Amino acid sequence: RSFLNREDIGIILISQCLAEQIRHAVEAHTRPIPAILEIPSKEHPYDPSKDSVLRRARGLFSPEDLR
């Protein structure tokens, strides 16, 4: 949470497996800066269905917008 309040941080990169452990905090963060981006780790495969940024982005567009 301290990273979310620092003005010198614009992007937070976090592995998806760690983001799952603090999912409540990741989902509660709604400000655009700092952006929280979930990345894959060596030990755990990336699952796009769990990525909070992708889920939010899907909600912004309808299928017709993407054609």
The CA distance from 31 to 33, in Å, is: 6
pLDDT value of position 61: 63
pLDDT value of position 8: 93
Domain-wise residue ranges, the chain: 11-52
For the entire predicted model, the pTM comes to 0.67
Closest-CA residue to 34 (of 49, 21, 53, 15): 53
Query: Position 56: which residue type?
Result: R
Q: What is the pLDDT of residues 27-45, one digit of tens each?
A: 888 888 998 888 888 888 7
Low-confidence ranges of the chain (pLDDT < 70): 53, 55-67
pLDDT value of position 63: 59
By three-state DSSP, how is residue 39 classified? strand
| 2 CB-near residues (< 8 Å, 6+ apart) | none
